[in-house]
Amino acid sequence: MTRMMDIIKKQEALDILLKVLSIPSVNRKDNEGIIAQFICDYLNRNDVEAEVQYIDETHSNVIAKVQGQEEDRCIIWNGHLDTVPYGNLQEWLTNPELPVEIDNRVYGRGASDMKSGLAAMVYALCQLKKRTEKPQKTIYFIGTCDEEKGGLGAEGILKKYDFIKRGQLLLIGEPTGCNLGVAQKGCIWIELHIEGKTSHGAYPKEGLNAVESGFQIISELKEYISSFNHEILGESTMQITGIDGGVANNMTPDKCKFILDIRVVPQLSLSMIEEKLLYIVEKFNKGREMKLQYSSKVLNSRIAIEISKDNLWLKRFEENLFNSGDKPKYIGINYFTDGSILARQDKDLPVLLFGAGEPSEAHKPNEWVDMEKYYKSIDTLLNIF
């Protein structure tokens, strides 16, 4: 197998990484449209068909296409444009806004999550376009904004474009250390309101404590959720991330609001959780004179994703890694990606995560990416596609 990065100048690939890292795109702070326009211009200069999709004044996507030999089904590459905030600047040894090369690593915010994956896809797309022979499948690249928050970019893609319905693979350049990210947990945020009955603090039996009752119900719901396990992702989890309740120090609280953060494996869905919650409340109220009331609001619902181990494209990645001297390794991630939004349009769309960044470096000070893994990720994309 030809090692493409032995032919292509590594400096060119490094230059595009350094440039995207030099454009600040902190979510809800910087204008992500600037990096979208930069990537669009870069692709256009390299004869790749690309356009910017404007979402609002500070959010834009970039969409590109390289025509393949076959048009019926396509491949979709995705990377997000935004980063998380820098955090405590005193914990950084370098300026997080400016990429720095030290000991074969590049440091800067977004180096691992996920501008290295983004830059690798952009550069590889340009190299594929320059070849005499077209790729087997048409490749669509989408650089999405606002992935770290509400997913405005991915939602915008679904509203305007329909090529995802023809997708044979959704490849996301999230940090996997050049391992194969075959599964990711879904994420559900629920705002749960519990309503009981107030009473004097000295006579708690005359009331129904919404705070204590809420904890009892949530504890049982948590036990149910954690009973779902996955061989790679581990167990589903739930935790209380917000609480608001109580009237006065000497009054039984009649209302309480809980915020629940739930991370689900593929076997567990939102509808299953809602059905279980209803069952728990009905069981709680059975035989009671005072009935507990509840209402819930879903603040976020990202589906869990898993690619079949028999998938053709996954096999191609395995073969490529094996032939390059690496033992293919399956990994899973507990956080959500834009894949959980994009795959809603076609729930049978296989999703694979593959990127040079290190999962352990995401969102941390002194974030870095290994340059050799960055080159390797480009080489892998060129060999497979």
Per-residue pLDDT of 264-317, as tens digits, reads 999 999 999 999 999 999 999 999 999 999 999 999 999 999 999 999 999 999
Looking at residue 348, its pLDDT comes to: 87
CA angle 235, 238, 239 (to 5 degrees): 140
* Residue 5 near residue 378 (C-beta atoms within 8 A): yes
- Domains belonging to the chain, first-starting first, are 4-184+304-384 (3.40.630.10), 186-302 (3.30.70.360)
Q: What percent of the chain is modeled with pLDDT above 90?
A: 91
Given a cut of 90, whether residue 184 has pLDDT beyond it is yes
Looking at residue 4, its pLDDT comes to: 58
**Which residue, chain included where needed, has tokens 């991915």?**
154
Within 8 A by CB and 6+ apart from 264, the residues are 185, 186, 187, 188, 225, 228, 236, 270, 273, 304
Per-residue pLDDT of 35-56, as tens digits, reads 999 999 999 999 999 999 999 9
Per-residue pLDDT of 22-33, as tens digits, reads 999 999 999 999
Looking at residue 2, its pLDDT comes to: 46
Given a cut of 60, whether residue 213 has pLDDT beyond it is yes
* Residue 350 near residue 308 (C-beta atoms within 8 A): yes
Q: pLDDT averaged over the chain? A: 95
* Sign of the C-alpha dihedral computed for residues 239, 245, 248 and 252 taken in this order: negative
* Residue 64 near residue 125 (C-beta atoms within 8 A): yes
Query: What is this structure's pTM?
Result: 0.90
Per-residue pLDDT of 230-277, as tens digits, reads 999 999 999 999 999 999 999 999 999 999 999 999 999 999 999 999
Distance CA 95, CA 367 (A): 11
